[in-house]
Structure 1
C-alpha cells in the first residue's frame, strides 16, 4: 500500500490517475482548486475502492497554498511515495496580447509549483530510499508553442536530469508528454476533436496515457511520449526551422 498525491485531480488526466491508482490499492491525496469537483471525484473513488482519500483545495498559482501542499508531502506520519504533478491550464498562444498577470500565474502553476513540490517530495523519498515523481508535460515541449511549450520543455529537461541524478538513490522522475488527449483541458478552451486543424486521429485516450505513464515510471524512464505518432512528430519537429515549427505549433490551442 502506497500513498499518491495528485495535483489537478478534479478532472481530466488527474482524475484518471486517481482512479487507476486507487484500483491498484493506493491511498490518495487529491489536490485542485475546485473543492466541489474534487469531493465528487473523491466520493466516487471511495464508493468503488477500499482506499483512503484526502482532499486539499489549493490554487497552485498562490505561494501560500503551494506551501500547504508541500507540507503534506513532507509529513512523516503519512509519507507520500508517488507525486503526480499534473495541474495546469492553457492560454491563447499570442503572448504579446495576453494579460501578463495570467502569464505569470501560468508560469507558477506549470514550473514553480512542480519545482517546489518535487523538492518537498524528494526530502522524504531520498531519506527512505524509494519514491516516484511523475511530471505531466506535453509533446508541445518539442515545438515552439508560446509559453506553454516553453514551460513544458523546462519540465522535460528537469525530469530527465532529476531521474539521472536520483535513480541510483531509489527515486525516479518521469516526464510524460502526451499530445491532444480526450480530457476537459482542450474543451475548456473551446477546442474539440476535428476543429482548428487537429484531426480525430491525433487525439489520445486519457486511460491509455495514464496507464502508459505509470508503466514508464515503474520502469524508471526519464521521459515518455505516449503513442508512436507523437514520438515521430517530436523527432520531425526537432529538424524543422524555428519559423516552420512555430507555424505547426499554432494548430489547436
Structure 2
C-alpha cells in the first residue's frame, strides 16, 4: 500500500485529502495540533476503508515538532510516497496592525515547515519516486499581504522543484484553489457571507482535492481547480499589481 503523510489533517482540505486517499486504499500519517480531531478521523477511516492510519500530534511552528515530522517523512523503514503540505492559518490583511510574533508563526508554518518537510521528502524519494502536493492558493498570484507572499513562495518553489527533481521520479505540485468551503474562514471568525464574495466563486473541498490528486499524478507543477479561477489567474498576470491588490482586499483565499 502507498503511504501519504498529510499536515493540517484534522479539518478542511487536509481531512478531505485523508478521506479521498483512504478511499483509494492508501495508508495514512495524519499530522495536526488537535489530537482529538485526528483520532476521531483516524478511527473513522480505519473502520470505513481498512487502512492503516498513524496519528502525529505536532505544532509546525515549533522547530522540534517540525523535525519530528521530517524524521517520519525520511524514515526508510516506513517510506512516505505522497507528502501533502496543507497546514496553515490566516491572519488579518493589515500587516502593520498584526502582532509580529503572529506573522512570524504564520511564516514558519506556511513556508519554513513546508520547506523542511519537502527537503526530507525529496531526499527520501529520489530514485524510488514519490509525489509532493503543496496546498497554496490563487492568492499567490496577486499582491495580498503576507498570506499572498507565503503562497507565492510555495508556487514558485514547487515549479522549480518539479522541474529539478522530476528526472529523479519526484513530482512537486502547488495546488491553488480559490475560495473553498472549509473551516479555514470559521477559524478566523468569518462566514462566507461576511467575505463579500459571490456564491459562484466558492468551490467545494472534494472537487479541489480531486483536482490536486489528478494533477499531481500527471506531474503538473501547478493545479488550479475550476476554469473560472484559471481565467482569474491569467487576467491577474496582465493587470497592474495596484489594481489586483485593491480587488484582493475583499475576502480571503
TM-score range, shorter chain: over 0.9
Secondary structure class of the residue paired with 2:167: helix
Are the counterparts in 2 of residues 191 and 252 from structure 1 also a CA contact under 8 Å? Answer: no
* In 2, Cα distance between equivalents of 1:25 and 1:196: 37
* In 1, Cα distance between equivalents of 2:203 and 2:147: 19
* In 1, Cα distance between equivalents of 2:60 and 2:87: 8
* In 1, Cα distance between equivalents of 2:137 and 2:243: 19
Structure 1: runs of 5 or more not aligned: none
- The aligned counterpart of 1:4 is 4
- The aligned counterpart of 1:101 is 101
Are the counterparts in 2 of residues 61 and 105 from structure 1 also a CA contact under 8 Å? Answer: yes
- The aligned counterpart of 1:111 is 111
Are the counterparts in 1 of residues 185 and 192 from structure 2 also a CA contact under 8 Å? Answer: no
- The aligned counterpart of 1:71 is 71
Q: 1:2-59: per-residue Cα shift (whole Å, max 9, x none)?
A: 0000000000000000000011010000000011111111111111011100000000
* In 2, Cα distance between equivalents of 1:157 and 1:65: 26
Secondary structure class of the residue paired with 2:41: helix
Secondary structure class of the residue paired with 1:238: helix
Secondary structure class of the residue paired with 1:211: helix
Are the counterparts in 2 of residues 7 and 84 from structure 1 also a CA contact under 8 Å? Answer: yes
How many correspondences in the alignment? 252
After the TM superposition, which parts of structure 1 deviate over 4 Å for at least 4 consecutive aligned residues?
none
- The aligned counterpart of 2:174 is 175
Are the counterparts in 1 of residues 178 and 203 from structure 2 also a CA contact under 8 Å? Answer: yes
Please report the TM-score for the alignment, with normalisation by the length of structure 2.
0.98
Q: CA RMSD in A?
A: 0.9
Q: Shift in Å at residue 188 of structure 1?
A: 1.7
Structure 2: runs of 5 or more not aligned: none
Please report the TM-score for the alignment, with normalisation by the length of structure 1.
0.98
